[in-house]
Structure 1
Amino acid sequence: MRQPWIRSPRYDGWLILAPPFVALAVVALLPAPFRHTTELPLLAWVGVVLLIDVAHVYGTLFQTYFDPVQRRQRRTLLWAAPLACYAGGVVLHAAGALVFWRALAYLAVFHFVRQQYGFMRLYGRQETPTPGAWLNPALIYAATLYPLLYWHLSPPRNFNWFVEGDFVQRDWPLGRHLATGLYLALLLVYLGRETWRYYRTRRFNLPRNLLLGGTALSWYAGIVLFNGDLAFTLLNVVAHGVPYLALVWSRRPTPAAGRGWWAGRYGLPLFLGAIALFAFLEEGLWDGLVWREHGTVFGWFQHLPPVAEPTLLMWLVPLLALPQSTHYVLDGFIWRRNKSSSGQL
């Protein structure tokens, strides 16, 4: 069968499907303590958190505010989304800092899960409905939600999503065992169905199965198998951020379309340089005004006055988090496809 690549086998293979497997290989090569520790080395923080996790958020700009066609077509959304996110953030932070971070963490989780579902839909867009087709979305959701449920039913882990305590957790061993059993049963049913389907049709959707396999492995290893901040960050961020940026770049306007300063000959370095610069500025403000954790990276920002007064933080923290919250909300709209085409991201 003709495989349903988004762009090409090489492009999809290296930039969309391979990242979770590459991240898992890197984690496997780490010294054992780094797979089960709260320690996140500075170099890893810069390479993974700053240059991938924070930077990928700004990829949304290139599909929205930096695109004149999108600015015209989505005018109301593009000004209403950040205003609503900021207002909602202030209200949540006024109820408590943990309330704000918890709400943002669960919004981020929803975004991460839906990205995998969206890629699954894209890679299944050419498949005709067959008995058991419900297993595809069921497994992609199980591959992401089962590790999250395991996390919620475990004692405190050596990692968190944003800040300590942002997930509601209750140590319930029986619940973890039941969730594991159901997940394994679903995996076996899915494998049986794929085997039966190949036997009957001699068709095998390679990118969809690689996506499902990479998702299942990276989420399970990062959350359940290992209990370390570095392992979780590598598997969580690389498997999410790199494919997202690859998708954004694959949908860039052509120079002939006359849209976008990043569409020409030097488009790729401009694209990567812009998102890295935005990420550096954002994290510098966070570090100078709030966290004070990476002074060696953000030396100039250490001249900013640290903010500790609760009322000021109520207005400041949602503002600094606005790129993230707006990214989560806008991505629920900009990747939607019309009813004549399947897939949503």
Structure 2
Amino acid sequence: MSQPWIRSARYDGLFILAPPFVALAVVGLLPPAYRATAQMPLLAWVALVVLIDVAHVYSTLFRTYLDPLRRRQRWLLFWLVPAGCYGVGVALYLGGGALLFWRVLAYLAVFHFIRQQYGFLRLYARHEPRGRGQWLDTVVIYYATIYPLLYWHFSPPRNFNWFIEGDFVQHDWAAGRYLATGLYAAVLLLYAGKEARQWWRTRAFNWPRNLLVAGTLVSWFFGIVYFNGDLAFTLLNVMSHGIPYLALVWSSGPQHQPNGRLARRGAWRGRYGLLVFLGLVAVLAYVEEGFWDGLVWREHAAAFGAFQHLPRVADATWLAVLVPLLALPQATHYVLDGFIWRRRKPN
């Protein structure tokens, strides 16, 4: 069968499907301490959190505010979303304090991560006929992400968190973990049986869809359930999410559209378009994290020396204004992502 690649077998394989498996291989080479403790080397934190995780947030700019055509078509959405996110963020911080703000943002982020996997699943299943087995594809991609989250919620405190300590509601419930694990095994067996039956009948096998499912299983299970280390979690979580997202944004830019008129527009143009793309998101990510470190966290002075001259903000009222502002790129990215990939036609 013809495989439903988004751009090409090589491009999809390297930048969308391979990251979870590469991340697992890297984790396997780490010293045991990094697989089971909260230790995180500064260089690894900068590479993973700043240059991939935060940078991928800013790549949304290339599909929204930096795209002249989309900016004209959806200008109201592009301004209402950040305004709404900031207003809600300030209200949450003032009404419930830092923990409530970060808890809501963490669950919004998790929803965004889960929906990305479902979105890729739909892209890789776009040429398959609608049938009885598609519901199982949806179930397996969702439960591949939800089961590790249930395991996390039903466990004692882990050596990692999403944003801050305690942002997820956790309760040590062993029976809940066993029930969730049993359902996980049953879903995987059903999916494997469905794929084997389909191959036996048609001799057709959707490689990108199945590699996506396998990569989702790998990154979420090993990152959250199997290993209990901050570096292991961040490697598997960030590489598996951020790199494919960056690749999707770049591959969907005007320079890859069949209409040459679009290819001459926006920040993509020219032979150095890829460098502009990666360089801009990296610089913006570094500057944002510099302000976070200088004004709020003060945890990575060695990486953000120039920002240490900023006054650290400790007043709760000022933090209620500042923290949602600094988190606004993330919140806007999470919300806008639910709109900018929708298409009227299946293709």
TM range (shorter): over 0.9
* Identical counterparts, % of pairs: 67
Separation (CA, whole Å) in 2 of partners of 1:146 and 1:261: 40
- Alpha-carbon deviation of 1:33? 1.1
CA contact (8 A) 1:34 1:228 kept: yes
In the alignment, is the contact (CA less than 8 A) between 1:252 and 1:263 conserved in 2? Answer: no
Is 1:190 equivalent to 2:196 in the alignment? no
Which sits farther off after the overlay, 261-270 or 189-198?
A: 261-270
Q: Contact between 2:49 and 2:238, CA under 8 Å: does it hold in 1?
A: yes
The answer on whether the counterparts of 1:19 and 1:239 sit within 8 Å (CA) in structure 2 is yes
User: Aligned equivalents of 2:129 and 2:158: distance in 1?
Assistant: 42
For the 8 Å contact 1:152–1:167, the answer to whether it is kept is: yes
Counterpart residue number, 1:228: 229
Which residue does 1:293 correspond to in 2?
Answer: 299
Tell me, in whole angstroms, the C-alpha distance in 2 between the residues paired with 1:297 and 1:306: 17
Aligned residue runs from structure 1 range 108-123, under 5 A: 108-123=109-124
Equivalent in 273, 281, 286 of residue 275 of structure 1: 281
Measure how far apart 1:263 and its partner are: 2.5
| Counterpart among 253, 260, 263 of residue 269 in structure 2 | 263
| 1:34 is the counterpart of 2:34 | yes
Which residue of structure 1 aligns with residue 130 of structure 2? 129
Q: Does 1:91 align with 2:91?
A: yes
Q: Aligned letter for 2:346? A: S
Shift of 1:253: 1.1
Counterpart position of 1:252: 253
TM-score (norm: length of structure 2): 0.97
Q: Structure 1 counterpart of 2:76, which letter?
A: T
> How far apart are residue 130 of structure 1 and its match?
2.4
The question of 1:72 aligning with 2:34 is answered no
The Cα of 1:256 is off from its aligned counterpart by 4.3
Q: CA-to-partner distance for each residue in 1:112-167, whole Å, 9 max, x for gaps?
A: 00000000000000000222221101000000000001000000000000000000
| Residue of structure 2 in register with 1:306 after alignment | 312
- Give the unaligned 5+ runs of structure 2: none
1:262 CA displacement: 2.2
Structure 1 unmatched ranges of 5 or more: none
Match of 2:266, SS state, is: coil
Asked if the contact 2:62–2:267 (Cα under 8 Å) also holds between the matched residues in 1, the reply is no
Contact 2:33 2:39 (8 Å CA) reproduced: no
Partners in 1 of 2:309 and 2:57 — Cα distance? 26
User: C-alpha separation between the residues in 1 aligned to 2:333 and 2:169?
Assistant: 24
CA distance in 1, matches of 2:197, 2:43: 47
- Partner of 1:261: helix, strand, or coil? helix
Q: Are residue 3 (structure 1) and residue 8 (structure 2) matched?
A: no
- CA shift for structure 1 position 261: 2.3
Question: Which aligned runs of 4 or more in structure 1 are off by greater than 2 angstroms?
Answer: 254-258
Letter in 2 for 1:64: T
| Alpha-carbon distance between aligned partners in 2 of 1:227 and 1:264, rounded to the nearest angstrom | 45
2: CA distance between counterparts of 1:298 and 1:84? 30
Q: Any idea what SS the aligned residue of 2:212 has?
A: helix
**Is residue 341 from structure 1 mapped to residue 325 from structure 2 by the alignment?**
no
> What do you get for the CA RMSD once the two structures are aligned?
0.8
Normalised to the residue count of structure 1, the TM-score between the two structures is 0.98
Query: After alignment, is 270-279 or 129-138 more displaced?
Result: 129-138
User: Structure 1 residue 337: deviation in Å?
Assistant: 1.7
CA distance in 1, matches of 2:123, 2:77: 24
Distance 2:132 2:243 in 1: 33
CA distance in 1, matches of 2:115, 2:261: 33
Q: Distance in 2 between matches of 1:242 and 1:94?
A: 35
In the aligned structure 1, how far is the partner of 2:104 from the partner of 2:152? 17
How far off is 1:264 after superposition? Answer: 1.7
Secondary structure class of the residue paired with 2:268 = coil
Question: Quick one: which amino acid aligns to residue 275 of structure 2?
Answer: P
Query: Could you tell me how far apart the structure 1 residues matched to 2:150 and 2:44 are?
Result: 27
CA distance in 1, matches of 2:47, 2:318: 31
Q: Distance in 1 between matches of 2:306 and 2:185?
A: 51
| Structure 2 counterpart of 1:98, one-letter code | L
Give 1:331's aligned residue. 337
Deviations 1:225-268 (A, max 9, x none): 00000000000000000000000000111274231122321001
Q: 1:131 to 1:261 in 2, by over 3 A?
A: closer
The whole-number CA distance in structure 1 between the counterparts of 2:165 and 2:101 is 13
Provide the rounded CA distance (Å) in 2 between the counterparts of 1:133 and 1:121: 10
Partner of 2:205: 204
